[in-house]
Structures are given as structure tokens and as C-alpha cells.
Chain A
Amino acid sequence: MAFQMTRRSFLQASATAALTTALSGWLASGAKAQSGFVKKPFTAPGSFGNTTTVTGGICEMCFWRCQLVGKLRDGKLVKLEGNPKSVDNGASLCARGNAGVKLLYDQDRLKFPLKNVGKRGAPVWKKISWDEALDECAARLQGVIKNNGPQGIAIFPHGASATYPMHYFEHVVGTPNNSEASFFQCRGPRDIAYINTFGVEAGESVDMPNAKAILLIGTHIGENIHVSQVKQYLKGLENGAKLIVVDPRFSASAAKADIWVQIKPGTDSAFLLAIMNYLVKKGAYDKAYVQKNGEGFDKFAKAIAHAELEWAAKICDVSAAQIKEVADLLAKSAPHVSVHPGRHVTWYGNDFQRERALACLTGLLGAIGVKGGFVKAKGPKLGKVAWPDIGVEHAEQFALHKMAEKHKFSPPGTPTEMLRNTAISGKPYSIKACVIWGQNPIQTIPGQQETIKMLQQMDFVLVVDLMPTDITMYADILLPELSYLERYDIVKTGVQWDFNDKHQQYIAPRMPLVSQVSADHQRKDSVWITNELAKRLGHAKHIPAPSAEAMVDKILAAANLTLAQIKKEDGIHLQPGSNPYGAVYPIKFFNEDLAEAGYSGAPNYTPVPEPPQGFARLVYGRVPVHTFNRTMNNVWLNAEIPENPIWLSEETAHKLGLKSGDKVNLVNQDGVVSANAVTLKVTQGIRKDTIFTAHGYGTKNPAMTNAVNKGFDEQSLITNPAVDPETGAHGMRTSFVRIMKDGKILNIPS
């Protein structure tokens, strides 16, 4: 158990405890004296009396990783709060962060290693020992390696705990078949596009507090909550930034916008090209910056010259005047413009080029390294714990996209669609084992039936997770992990959230807030599990860290720090930072590498298929209280937003005789019906050709007793995903749907 308590917090806690004790002591004696009766304490004690404060927590209810303190009473976590020492989230947490307590003590959490003695998809679980589980995993993985080579193992990782095993399978075992949801179903096209424009990853590196204008394309801050980013956004608005939101739906951000562009889904790139062409033709761009740092500007200008305002207006179904209004506002606000790169960007299969357009627009506005622009602060330097690269050469030879000479700008790993097709077809080679770590591919990857086919043809499926998500039903062996509140893990680094504040860097290793040991479970951390597998697969000598704690200490050593030291510093080490402004990046307006590889060297717009007659496009987003499916079983979060309503335009609803509150299903173009009827939300805040819902609902596994059958799983309807040609990432806003009410299918009027 790691109780990191400072002198100050100790004094605080004990003062509070003394006061509370005095109060309840007095109450008891007072009650006795007056009535001869000791009353039951009906008043909840709160988190501040008789608790100890433990520091060093790093949240992982999502992946922003806010810094936490825990309030413990009798060894039990009663509350989580932001670490007051944090220069990132500060004392604040979002709803999910606050609800971490209920993940920790969720009765449905996986507790013991389990073996499936039933079928994949219809499991019957037998509790087994860690030794039995690990021996069987090793033997069956070894069998696949022997028969099919290391490339016969596919891995599906997600989250901090999956990094260590992921590197083991890639670098030591030697498989290229790594499908990271955070790349291929999320951020991949964004970061690769920015790397191929500025030479650096995009992140969400925009200095919103100092912006004069903020441009959000589909980003719905408010429904998407990352604490320090929301703080930056609100600070910008408070400081007078004009907010432009481009979204087919009146999102939480659109509700705060100065300009809402109600764009037709799939056409964002046309919108961006028209703005850029307008700025270029008008000469309303940062000529000095472009001349000094731009590459291929003339070719770029020529390539987008066709993108007139009227051309885009027609495609995007918005007025040319509004596109011009946006362009003029951006030009007027330049260079202090936050062109937000987005986060989940795998929408239509033309996403890499849209992200390239965002980067080029940033460059045109000279909005780089300046107040309000694209600014990457310099974070602290740390060490690394790495598995040796003994398997990398083999992995490279079997990388599917390289063998097929496709997706030449893929993020690291193998594009999911290729991996899955290969597993199903056995061509060009067999993929017969699957290691799924913290990811729920049933709900992260479009084309569920294909995913299930892939799983069913495997010789072995290993799943490691905290909760019995839908994917766990397909495991042969299912291993229970420790949560982020019980383990040592990654080291979170960064700088203060507002660049106007004192420049500071922080280093915050994840440390357990509560004991790892309890009689009611046998959970283990991923470093231990991976090491035990590695030993059994003959890789003992390559193990880079004997334990998670040792791993973190090794990472910290490069910064002359230790866990012991950071414990003394309340879980966060602060050190002086530097001025984040002034960076200059070369901007590849026209990228010759892309052109040579056969892609468009300048950002372009590729039209996407239109909804067939009678259908609307299904788009999805977030609700602020959930992180995909990961948080759905959390009793507090579930209570806040228990299901995902379907947003339908008022005009359409009137025509179909539907009203808010009706229970409806969706049916997609392939006849797939959503599993559970949900509440209809009729609103003027969505286009007629678009239907919206929130992602992650509709859990099917009955072992998730709070979440099961609450809302519907929109991923089940995405049976026709697109694939981004440059990156191989999925496009998932591709499904077309009709409404079904009381078993009757209703056509969406055009």
C-alpha cells in the first residue's frame, strides 16, 4: 500500500478528524444525557472527516490522465479529487474522474483468471489459477508461433497498461499485426497528416486561451470532456475568442458558437479548401510566413484553385456567404487562430486529407508558434523502458500494408481492415492467435460480424481487461487486471494548462492510491502478466523491468528522480518550463512524398457516398459522462446518462408523425436493426439528412449488470466502413439508417 502523505495534508486531515470526533462524541453524550438513547448516525460523513489523503493518482477513466488524490477511510477509497498541486487539471475532475471509485469497487469487475469451457461468444467460465492460465496462454501462443510464425499473432491494445505487452509482442515476439484503436479508429490520420505537413504530431496543441478565433470541425467540447482542454477553451471564450463550429448538429460547442456552420456530413474538406483558396486568391494569408517556411505553395495554390466559395457552398449545403464570413474572420484574427486538429477523426475515409487541410490552413494563417495558434510546449525529458528489437525485422517483412504496397502513410501497426481480412481469408498468411488488452474490438471496430468471424477462426484468443466488456465473451482465457487506482504505470508529463501562467513542467508517475492486495480477487498488473508470459515463451533474459514499480523508477531515473522523491512531493514533480512560443515549422503545402506515393500532394476533397433514398446518415459522438463503452457499467455514470437517445430533425419527425420520447430503433442499409429501442429526441439542432447518437452504449454481455441492454450499440449498424487510402484507418460515419417504430420501418423523407 502506498500512502503518500505530506506533513501539510497530514496536519489538515488530523485537524479535521479531531473536529469530527469531537462533534460526534459530543452528540453521543448529549443524546445520552437527554434521552438515554444513542442515535444511529444517519448523516453521511463526507470525504473530509476521518479520512487520509493519498497522492500520486493518475486518472484513466479516459486517456487525458488528470492528476488525482484519493480520500481513504479505513483503507477504503471514498472519493477522488484533482490533485491541488496539479498545474493541469488542478483540483477539478470531470464526472468520469469523480466516478473512479465505482470502477474500483464495481462488483462486476473481473476478479480471477478464467478459462472458457463453453464457446466463443457464449462462454462458460471456469476459475483457474494464474499458473494454469499463464501456462496455457504460453503453450497456445507458442503453438501459433511454431505453425504460423510470430505474425500469426494479432494484438488489439488500448490504454496505458497495454503499452508494455504491446511492445513485447511487436519488438520481441515479432508480430506487425497490431491494431491500436487509438490510431485506426481514432487519432491516426490526424497525427500522420500533421507529421507530413509540419513534421510534428498534432496532438490538441492549440493555444485556445490566447486565441482570437477558434475553429472546431466536428469537435464537440462539452460533450467531449478533457479537463485541461475544456479550461483552455473556456478561457479563450472568456477572453473574447470568436468560436466557429462546423457540425451537422447543434453540439454543445455549437451552442456556445458565434458562427455555426451546419455542414453536410462528409464535406468538411471541400469547406476547408474553399476557405484556403479564398484566402490565397485574396492574398489574405500570412505571406511572410508562407514565403519563409512554406514548401510547394504554388503547386498547392494551383491544386486548390478550383475550390470557389460557390463550389463548396453547393457541396457542403451551406451558403457561400457563410463560408466567406468564416474565412474573413479567420483572416482578421490571424495569426492568433486555434485551428483545432480534432481528436476522433476517423469519419469518412477521406480523413487524412481533411487533416492535411487543417494543417495547411494553420500554416496559411501563420498560426504557428504564436499566441493563440498551434503551439507545442516543451515537456520534461524522461527515460524509457524498452524491450529489445529482436523481432522487429521479422515483423517488418510481414507487415501487410507494406507487402501489399497500400496505405503508405499508415500509423504504427497494421491497418485493422487488412489485418481482419487477412485473418478471415488466410491470405497472404494465417493469423491464428489474438491478444486483446484493454480494448473492446466488438465496439471499437466497425463491421462486427467480420470481427466475430476473425475471432472464430483463431486457434487462441486471450483477453486481459478490468471489466467483462463484450469482447471478453470471445476469450479462451480471460485475465483480470488491476485498475489505474491500484497499480504503478505510466509517467504523465506536461506543462501548465495556460501558457499565460508561470512556465512549469510536471512529472507525475501513476502510483497506487489503494492496496493491490485483497482477499476477494487475484488481479495483477500488466507488467507482471507480460513478464510471466515472456518467461514462459523463452524471453526471460529480455525482460526490461522486473516490476511495474521498477519500470517507473527506471523511467524517472533519466530525470534524476525516484518514486520515493515524487511521493514526498505529493505525487507531482514540478520544474521550470520554457517559453512555448517561437517555434517555426516548415509547412509542406504540397507534399512531394505523398504525390510520389500516388496520393494527392495537396489536400483534396473526395466525395463520400450519399444516403440512398429514404435513409439518413448516422453520425455519432460522445456524452460527457462516458469514455466509449469502458465506463458504461459505472453505477454513478450510468445514472447520469443511462441511454443514448437518437437525434432526429423536427421537420422529419413531423412528416413521420414522431415525437420526442417515442421509443424507436434504427435499421441500416444492410437491414441490421439496432438491438434496443431508445428514446427519440426531436430537435431543430440537426440536419434532415443526418441522425445522431452517442457511442459506446448497448452492452450485450450480461456480466455487465448495470450496462447490459442500456441504449443501443451504434457500432452494430456500421457494417460498411470506409478505409482511408493514405493511412488505412477506418471511416465510421458511413452508415445509412431508417427509423423503426413498433416494428414498422419509416423512410426518411428527402
Chain B
Amino acid sequence: MSQYGMVIDLNRCVGCHACSVACRAEWDVPVGVDSSKRKQRRNWVERLGPDATPHGLAATYYVGLCNHCDNPVCVESCPADKVSATFSDPKTGLKKTVSVAATWKDPFNGTVQIDKERCIGCGACADSCPYTARYVIEESGTPKADKCTLCVERTAVGLEPACVHTCLASARIYGDLNDKKTEIAQYVGKGAIRLESAKVKIGPNVRYYGNKKDISLLTKNSTPEKMAEINHRRIFMARMLRPSLKAFNSNSLIGLLGTIATEKGDNA
């Protein structure tokens, strides 16, 4: 199985914010906060420092996006009715049918995705994410959770993720972490780190590479220290209030996304 992810090379990043704006343009992400005051953005750049570190004065950037975690708490927290979904592996053609709620971790490419049609907009996933990578889009009147998809829609047709495409510093390295030949895997070999703490160990697949002082500043400022409390009452309310849709079995819906990836895989 593949695990797609990203490494941010802080030695290269100049903190220009092109990635976050390109993403907004690509996915038409609204500007502002949702009704729970979560910032609406799929990826972000936060300037850190200048601040003292054990390795000297440092200034760097927290370049954030969904971590497509190994053990995504957002997936566990989704209260939507489960349906059976079939995924296919673009490399081997293998198929796998699993039961998923409105958000899931793809068993073949490792990305965490949302089925917007079945999302009930309760925000439980957003509440649960210790990296604040999720939020709710409410602008249409029908709330839907949103987050970085790692641009699977773009990569399926042979394009790079929008943030990678625009990055003038080549600071964003996208690829399959499980394929030892990839540049991203080599970065892991060189010591690219995860933003994890004693209480937050869910296997984020966005990693950071940089010199000691920048990594020190980043980990000190941007590592989540605790898992979020999930507001069960709100989830319950959302379930009560949601339109009484008959959950439809999206069995081959997800399979089709897989098929697109397969076509790409075959062409590549």
C-alpha cells in the first residue's frame, strides 16, 4: 500500500504564502471562520519567531495542511451512517471493500477524504483534529466539512497538488512515503520529523525538514499537545437535524475515484 504525504523543506521555504493562496484559488475555499470560529483554510503559513532556541536565534514557518494521518481521529469521530465502499489500488488493480462513514482513510493511497454528499456538516471531525486542519463550509447553507484532499483530484489526472505546483522554492515535496525510491522517502531517511507529542501520536504524514534551530522553533510552537474533546452533544444535534436522506450505498462511487487513479497509474 502507498501512503501519500508531503515534506516541507524549511531550508528552502521563504514563507511567501503562495501555497495557501493557490489552494484557495484551486478549491474556492471561502475566507474567514466557520460558526465554531475555525479558520477556513486547507493549508496555511504561520510565521514563527524570531525567537531564541537552544541552537540560536531562529525564525521559520509553520506550513500546515491535513496530515492524512496513519490513525486519523477525524475518521473515527464521523457520526454519519456507514456504507460499504470499494477501493482499488492503481498499482496492482487489487480491490478492497470496507465500511466507511462520510470520511475515511483510503486503504491504498493513504489519503483521508470526505464524501461531501454524505457529510452531515456536524463538525465532529473538525473538532477532533489536533492539527486544526478541518473546518466547516457553511456558505451554501448546507454545512459540509472541508480540508486538504492532497489534491487527489489533480493527481488523478496527472497534475501536481496546487500548492506544490506554485511553490517557487520547491519546498513542498509530494509523494509516496512508502516507496523508498521517492524524494519524499529520502527526506524521511534524512530525518524529516513529524509534529507529534506524548499525547498526540496519530501518525501525521506531513513532515518537516530543516536545520536544528528551525526544527526546534517549529516543534516548540506548532506541535499539538493534546487530543481534542469531541462535543458529542453537537454531533447528536446535527444528526437529529440533518435532512432525512436515505443513505445511499456509494459502493462503486469511491471505486470510481480509484479507477481514475488506476488510469493515471497505467499511463505513468
Contact surface of A with B, Cβ cutoff 8 Å? 16, 19, 23, 26-27, 30-31, 34-35, 37, 39-40, 42-44, 46-49, 78-82, 89, 91-99, 101, 221-223, 225, 227, 230-231, 234, 237-238, 250, 252, 254-256, 260, 624-625, 635-641, 683-686
Nearest-CB residue, chain A, relative to B169: A234
Asked whether, in the complex, the Cβ of A42 is within 8 Å of the Cβ of B119, the reply is: yes
Asked whether, in the complex, the Cβ of A48 is within 8 Å of the Cβ of B154, the reply is: yes
Contacts of A49 in B (CB 8 A): 153, 157
Contact of B49 among A47, A101, A625, A683 (CB under 8 A): A683
Instruction: Please report the C-alpha to C-alpha distance between residue A293 and residue B17 in the assembled complex, in whole angstroms.
Output: 44
Nearest-CB residue, chain B, relative to A98: B21
Q: Is B202 close to A, CB under 8 A?
A: no
Instruction: Please report the C-alpha to C-alpha distance between residue A395 and residue B52 in the assembled complex, in whole angstroms.
Output: 57
Contact (A26, B31) CB under 8 Å given A34-B248, A98-B18, A624-B15:
no
Nearest-CB residue, chain B, relative to A27: B253
Q: Is B98 close to A, CB under 8 A?
A: no
Nearest-CB residue, chain B, relative to A231: B168
Asked whether, in the complex, the Cβ of B140 is within 8 Å of the Cβ of A78, the reply is: no
Considering the complex, which residues of chain B in the window 154-212 have a beta carbon less than 8 Å from any beta carbon of chain A?
A: 154, 157, 159, 162, 165-170
Contact of A42 among B50, B58, B140 (CB under 8 A): B140
**In the complex, what's the smallest C-beta–C-beta distance from A720 to chain B, in angstroms?**
29
Instruction: Please report the C-alpha to C-alpha distance between residue A344 and residue B215 in the assembled complex, in whole angstroms.
Output: 32
Considering the complex, which residues of chain B in the window 8-35 have a beta carbon less than 8 Å from any beta carbon of chain A?
A: 11-12, 14-18, 20-22, 24-29, 31-32
Q: Is B260 close to A, CB under 8 A?
A: yes
Asked whether, in the complex, the Cβ of B57 is within 8 Å of the Cβ of A222, the reply is: no
Asked whether, in the complex, the Cβ of B168 is within 8 Å of the Cβ of A42, the reply is: no
Q: Interface readout for B50-85 with A: 1 if CB under 8 Å, 0 if not?
A: 111000011110000000000000000000000000
Contacts of A48 in B (CB 8 A): 153-154, 157, 159
Asked whether, in the complex, the Cβ of B168 is within 8 Å of the Cβ of A230, the reply is: yes
Asked whether, in the complex, the Cβ of B21 is within 8 Å of the Cβ of A637, the reply is: yes
Asked whether, in the complex, the Cβ of A685 is within 8 Å of the Cβ of B246, the reply is: no
Give me 20 A-to-B residue pairs in the complex whose CB atoms sit less than 8 angstroms apart, sorted by A's number: A23-B256, A30-B252, A34-B248, A40-B142, A42-B117, A42-B140, A47-B162, A49-B153, A78-B25, A89-B168, A95-B20, A96-B21, A99-B21, A101-B25, A222-B15, A230-B169, A231-B169, A250-B49, A636-B24, A685-B49
Contacts of B147 in A (CB 8 A): none
Contacts of B26 in A (CB 8 A): 44, 46-47, 79
Q: Is B245 close to A, CB under 8 A?
A: yes
Q: Is B134 close to A, CB under 8 A?
A: no
Q: Is B45 close to A, CB under 8 A?
A: yes
Asked whether, in the complex, the Cβ of B57 is within 8 Å of the Cβ of A685, the reply is: yes
Contact of A624 among B16, B22, B25 (CB under 8 A): B16
Instruction: Please report the C-alpha to C-alpha distance between residue A31 and residue B251 in the assembled complex, in whole angstroms.
Output: 11
Contact surface of B with A, Cβ cutoff 8 Å? 11-12, 14-18, 20-22, 24-29, 31-32, 41, 45, 49-52, 57-60, 116-117, 119, 140, 142, 144, 153-154, 157, 159, 162, 165-170, 214, 245-246, 248-249, 252-253, 256, 260
Asked whether, in the complex, the Cβ of B14 is within 8 Å of the Cβ of A35, the reply is: no
Closest 4 CB pairs between A and B? A685-B50, A42-B116, A250-B50, A92-B168
**In the complex, what's the smallest C-beta–C-beta distance from A101 to chain B, in angstroms?**
6
Contact of A222 among B16, B159, B245 (CB under 8 A): B16
Contacts of A91 in B (CB 8 A): 165-166
Asked whether, in the complex, the Cβ of B117 is within 8 Å of the Cβ of A94, the reply is: no
Instruction: Please report the C-alpha to C-alpha distance between residue A684 and residue B153 in the assembled complex, in whole angstroms.
Output: 44
Contacts of A97 in B (CB 8 A): 18
Instruction: Please report the C-alpha to C-alpha distance between residue A255 and residue B167 in the assembled complex, in whole angstroms.
Output: 19
Asked whether, in the complex, the Cβ of B157 is within 8 Å of the Cβ of A95, the reply is: no
Contact (A95, B18) CB under 8 Å given A47-B25, A255-B60:
yes
Contacts of A23 in B (CB 8 A): 256, 260
Asked whether, in the complex, the Cβ of B142 is within 8 Å of the Cβ of A42, the reply is: yes
Contact (A684, B51) CB under 8 Å given A46-B26, A98-B22:
yes
Contacts of A641 in B (CB 8 A): 17
Contacts of B117 in A (CB 8 A): 31, 39-40, 42
Contacts of A227 in B (CB 8 A): 168
